[in-house]
Structure 1
Amino acid sequence: MTRPLFFGPVEAVRGAAPGSAFLLGGDEGRHAAVVRRLSPGERIDVSDGSGYRIGGVITAVGTGSVELEVESVGQDPAPRHRLVLVQALAKGGRDEQAVESATELGVDAVVPWHAERSIVRWRGDKADKGRQKWVSLVGAAAKQSRRSFVPEVHGVMDTTRLAAWSGAVDHMVILHEDAGETLAQRFAALEAGGALDAPSSTAVVVGPEGGISDAELAKLGAVGALPARLGPHVLRSSSAGPAALVLLNHLLGRW
């Protein structure tokens, strides 16, 4: 069974050395001591959220903290091909379901998207609150899945801003039921053309329940985004992104 993972301050985690004592306090320490009820002798990992991980055995448990003796330190390798989920805001918490599953599946970053047909809107204070909710969501999902990398959560974007941002990734694919090629076919063509020989980044765009408009397809297509379908069935906004990530993890050799 894999060891429980917790997150600690960057400086403290990166400053730890084998044989040294490490104190895990704050919310994570309370979770380990009070919620998980961990005991001396049990082993845990602590990460800085950016790939650095320490492992150790618990030597003492306080009312809201645990102390461990560090046994190992190291940097987990970053994926050669980065994956970004551009998730349209969707009703019924389906966008949050998608982001949570995507984190468990290894996504490297997520972008909240104000699509034309999004019913949910983040405006004013809601934009900050909505993003912070996603930040908490990906942190919890990364912890549950024992990931030492916590995905970055970008600020909410409308389609114009998303088109401008697209230059930050090497490839952008729009999941669309009427696309002429499948996602697998798109990436087979990229591989055949040598586009995947070097490290790369890919953004997968998922629309809301009402779908992506023709105007949005045109605007994103003008900056090089390619439409692709997953298969013969239409998936919900909550499942399309995770399904695409599973396929891309396989096609890109991440799994």
Structure 2
Amino acid sequence: MFWVDDVPAGGEVVLDGPEGRHAADVRRARPGEVVLLGDGAGTRARAEVVDVAKGRVTATVLERRHDEEPALRVVLAQALVKGDRGELAVETATEAGVDAVLPWRAERSVARWDEGPRGEKALARWRTTAREAAKQARRARVPEVAAPVTTRQLADRGAAMLVLEATAAETLAGVPLPGEGELVLVVGPEGGVTDDERAVLAGAGAREVRMGPDVVRTSTAAAVALGALGARTARWG
């Protein structure tokens, strides 16, 4: 998959810049080869390479399609975690089909993403991770990674919400799910969700669910949950 700003209905399209360099100089695309193009907003195309120059590939569109968003959009509220585990969470969730990501400033998050260059750099890494993971998975859409949110901002979204909690009585396999709209999947930090946070989210209608008998790490919990949601809803249909 190569990203382009716009996928034309037909004719020629030029890959240049970073994507052109990757196609021409790293992947070594050749005339006659068929490549997949996407704009990250739902439109993809199969295109035949007709010319290759240094850092530049020209291709002719063979087939173009647009995928509508799923009726039920799953938004991941991922607690900020230290090191590269947050990026791993975004990567695996993107591969599993998440529609958007909300970096969550949970009380027990070790990482803080303070305002300023350091926070902006961390957010940029999450966004780049989502874009690259969507590319590798050949997804039609790149999940939006929004600015960090607080617990109160999560509660105020007014959406259906599931909080992953290992001690919950309800299971993800059995909890009722909406058929459309937005479903927020909340994944806490390594220290867990605090009682105060649970109370705020519960006050907004959130339900706590567990995925199984074992504890799943924060870096992979969303991907596991998304798999279950894909099987239980029409998202994989």
TM-score range, shorter chain: over 0.9
| Cα deviation 1:42-88 (Å, max 9, x = unaligned) | 11121111111122100111111100011112212322211111100
Give unmatched runs, 5+ long, in structure 1. Answer: none
2:101 maps to 1:110: yes
Q: 1:152 aligned to 140, 144, 149, which one?
A: 144
Question: 1:127, 1:156 within 8 Å by CA — same for their partners in 2?
Answer: no
Give how far 1:128 is off. Answer: 1.8
- Residue type at the aligned position of 1:110: V
RMSD of equivalent CA atoms: 1.2
2:41 maps to 1:45: no
Give unmatched runs, 5+ long, in structure 2. Answer: none
Q: TM-score, normalised by structure 1?
A: 0.89
2:39 maps to 1:86: no
Q: 2:165 aligned to 176, 186, 198, which one?
A: 176
Question: Which residue of structure 1 aligns with residue 134 of structure 2?
Answer: 142
CA distance in 1, matches of 2:185, 2:9: 39
Question: Which residue of structure 1 aligns with residue 5 of structure 2?
Answer: 9
Return 131-140 or 71-80, whichever deviates more: 71-80
User: What is the DSSP-based 3-state SS (H/G/I as helix, E as strand, rest coil) of the residue aligned with 2:174?
Assistant: helix
User: Which 4+ runs in 1 deviate beyond 6 A?
Assistant: none
Question: Which residue of structure 2 aligns with residue 120 of structure 1?
Answer: 111
Alignment of 1:194-233 (within 5 A): 195-196=178-179, 199-233=180-214
Give how far 1:162 is off. Answer: 1.9
Q: 1:234 aligned to 188, 193, 215, which one?
A: 215
User: What is the DSSP-based 3-state SS (H/G/I as helix, E as strand, rest coil) of the residue aligned with 2:85?
Assistant: helix
Q: TM-score, normalised by structure 2?
A: 0.95
Alignment of 1:40-79 (within 5 A): 40-79=31-70
Return 126-135 or 174-183, whichever deviates more: 126-135
| Cα deviation 1:131-159 (Å, max 9, x = unaligned) | 11111100000000001100011100121
| Cα deviation 1:151-208 (Å, max 9, x = unaligned) | 01110012122222x21x3x10000111110012113xx4xxxx42xx2221100001
Question: 1:100, 1:141 within 8 Å by CA — same for their partners in 2?
Answer: yes
* Aligned sequence identity (%): 45
CA distance in 2, matches of 1:8, 1:121: 34
